[in-house]
Amino acid sequence: MRRFAVLLLAGLLLGDCTKHYDPPQGRWIGHFESPQVVVVAWLEILPGGDIRVSAPDYLDVGEPTADQRDTMHKRLASDLSDSWGTVKTRRYEFDGHVFRKEGGVAPQMEWDTNKKEMKVVFYFGMQHSIRIPMTQVKNFGDDPWLP
């Protein structure tokens, strides 16, 4: 009887590990600015679970003037829009909250089901990661700095 209980518990635990979660579908935009990085991101999760994400950036920007910031914003928006058609779809493992590269450990995106909030995890160099809050949109626009 004890062996049966252990096998039942092991089966329940293993069954929970293989539970399949469908990722949320849609499109999101987001951006982040600091003296270390300026980044803008587009994310699209397709009905079959394939994902496209692009996040062009500038590193070590310091304290740019208003004109320099405007130039950076326009360049990043142009880079994002111009390259979107060539962004390849990828598959990620999704546990209902965190997206990881297949077989990977590091979080790539985070989804809060209760709040319906998406974050893209951005890694730059050997420094820490940042989480970019994303806003869900119907379509991507010309200015990714505005939701």
pTM for the model stands at 0.83
- Residues 52-61, mean pLDDT to the nearest whole number: 92
Nearest to 28 by CA among 6, 54, 8: 54
**Residue-by-residue DSSP string for 45-67:** E-TTS-EEEE--EEES--S--HH
The answer to whether the beta carbons of residues 57 and 37 sit under 8 Å apart is: yes
- Please write the tens of the pLDDT for every residue from 57-94: 998 888 999 999 999 999 999 999 999 999 999 999 99
Q: What is the distance between the alpha carbons of residues 34 and 132, in angstroms, rounded to a whole number?
A: 12
Question: What is the pLDDT at residue 6?
Answer: 41
**pLDDT tens, 118-129?**
999 998 777 689
